[in-house]
Amino acid sequence: MAHGFETLQIHAGARPDPATGARQTPIYQTTAYVFRDAEHAAALFNLQEVGYIYSRLTNPTVAALQERLATLEGGAGAVCCSSGHAAQIMALFPLMGPGLNVVVSTRLYGGSITQFSQTIKRFGWEAKFVDIDDLDAVEAAIDDNTRAVFCESIANPGGHIADLDALSALADKAGLPLIVDNTSATPYLCRPIEHGATLVVHSMTKFLTGNGTVTGGVVVDSGNFNWSASGKFPSLSEPEPAYHGLKFHETFGQLAFTFHGIAIGLRDLGMTLNPQAAHYTLMGIETLSLRMERHVENAEKIAGWLENHDAVEGVTYAGLPSSPYHDRVAQICPKGAGGLFTVALKGGYDACVKLVDGLELFSHVANLGDTRSLIIHSASTTHRQLTEEQQVAAGAAPNVVRISIGIETADDLIADLDQALAKAGG
């Protein structure tokens, strides 16, 4: 029988501990695992048997979280790692090589823009930035050296919703995987695999954990992509020298990407999630649906109030009827447009700084997806390394603040915004 989301967010991947009967998943705070004998150890190291070798690769607490996230996203498998940034590198690592490129949305988190535009160049990889709504531009950017298309389902900071169905159709036509960062939406609001995505990445730091305690990332594989079809993905289709010529796709089928992520990605990049962080995230996910419902309910009310405020030039929330992306909510995020949006102030940069300094309930932090409401002036912080033109393209212009609406009482948040906007000269 197929279980509902709310049941799966509590039970998927979590069984009573066989040794003690413990109902909550224990924190397996161990580095290594004792092998039954020399033959068992050899089988594990040859990938002939699945089990635990060393916690850089696999750990029972992390494994429970991986199973839960794969289940919630509707994927075949998942690899957890140390942060959302790590997840993005882990997603690209098996696909890319020197001279190859990835076609990337301009509407991305500022740190992702820096990672893609600057840091990946050191691997000899290139990112081609395009307006993800301009399908002709996306298609024109794809060439023989392209290995993936990358976007965010609900873009940070502006809350723009991507047309995942159109993008996946375009990626399919080119024989490429679509990678979707689903951090802002979570699988409760959006399931990119159902819209044709091949891989889904998350910064679990945000809504999945939900309380601002730990950092973590995950790559979920749909299991639907044929890695051997084109010869473009030799890491997955060709013999792997480190495992006596084993071919990941031929050997592991649907789980090829997941096994590669652990057996090579975590083995050699070492971007491991620690078991305590996995435990916090498992606990956070147990209330994911309840929190997302409240984030959405509050965001709709507060964005509507802000839109009508004299000091406000505009609000980007896709849940507002005035948003150009409002019609995509029902198609891509049927349970709501999330809790993240930006607000442009008529008073410009200075008014934004005064607003941030004048708030009492909102926390001024470089995070989102917390139970607490958060605010940041992206142009002076997370996006300050970008040019003004890049800031505007990313939805983080100098007169814009990013707001992550929490699960507090909405009227209290409105009162706080009201008094701070008054101080900001609105």
pLDDT in tens, 365-382: 999 999 999 999 988 887
| pLDDT at position 292 | 98
Residue 168 lies in a domain: yes
Q: Which residues pair with 364 in a beta bridge?
A: 375
| pLDDT at position 352 | 95
294 CB-near residues (< 8 Å, 6+ apart): 407
pLDDT tens figures, 101-129: 999 999 999 889 999 999 999 999 999 99
Q: Looking at this protein, which amino acid is placed at residue 286? A: E
CATH of the domain at 267: 3.40.640.10
* 295 and 275 housed in the same domain: no
The first and second tokens of residue 218, run together, are 């995950």
Number of neighbouring beta carbons within 10 Å of residue 138: 23
Q: Please, what is the angle between helix 288-307 and helix 410-423, to 10°? A: 40
* 261 and 408 housed in the same domain: no
Q: Which of 232, 202, 195, 208 is nearest to 78 (CA)?
A: 202
| pLDDT at position 386 | 79
Q: Which of 53, 95, 15, 62 is nearest to 216 (CA)?
A: 62
pLDDT of 182 over the 90 cut: yes
Residue 318 lies in a domain: yes
Residue 175 lies in a domain: yes
Residue 260 has, within 13 A of its CA and on its CB side, a CA count of 32
* 276 and 295 housed in the same domain: no
* 21 and 145 housed in the same domain: yes
Residue 294 lies in a domain: yes
173-to-58, 176, 338, 364 alpha-carbon distances in Å: 35, 8, 30, 44
Distance CA 86, CA 56 (A): 14
Rg (CA), the chain: 22
| pLDDT at position 119 | 97
Q: Looking at this protein, which amino acid is placed at residue 16? A: P
pLDDT of 253 over the 70 cut: yes
pLDDT tens figures, 11-25: 999 999 988 999 999
Model confidence, pTM: 0.96
Average pLDDT over residues 310-320: 97
* 174 and 260 housed in the same domain: yes
Q: How confident is the model at residue 426 (pLDDT cuts 50, 70, 90)?
A: low
- What's the total number of domains in the chain? 2
* 276 and 304 housed in the same domain: no
* 413 and 335 housed in the same domain: yes
* 271 and 405 housed in the same domain: no
pLDDT of 214 over the 60 cut: yes
Distance CA 146, CA 126 (A): 9
Distance CA 238, CA 228 (A): 8
The range of the structural domain enclosing residue 345 comes to 288-423
pLDDT of 212 over the 60 cut: yes
Q: How confident is the model at residue 385 (pLDDT cuts 50, 70, 90)?
A: confident
| pLDDT at position 392 | 83
Mean pLDDT across the chain: 96
| pLDDT at position 390 | 81
pLDDT of 99 over the 90 cut: yes
* 251 and 375 housed in the same domain: no
Residue 354 lies in a domain: yes
* 296 and 280 housed in the same domain: no
CATH of the domain at 352: 3.90.1150.10
Chosen domain end from 284, 316, 351: 284
Chosen domain end from 235, 258, 284: 284
383 CB-near residues (< 8 Å, 6+ apart): 110, 113, 390, 391, 394, 396
| pLDDT at position 210 | 97
Q: Looking at this protein, which amino acid is placed at residue 215? A: T
* 205 and 123 housed in the same domain: yes
Residue 1 lies in a domain: no
* 257 and 333 housed in the same domain: no
Average pLDDT over residues 193-200: 98
Residue 271 lies in a domain: yes
Residue 311 lies in a domain: yes
pLDDT tens figures, 386-421: 788 888 877 789 999 999 999 999 999 999 999 999
Chosen domain end from 284, 312, 333: 284
Distance CA 343, CA 28 (A): 43
Q: Is 147 helix (H, G, I), strand (E, B) or coil?
A: strand
115-to-89, 356, 385 alpha-carbon distances in Å: 9, 27, 12
pLDDT of 140 over the 60 cut: yes
pLDDT tens figures, 331-344: 999 999 999 999 99
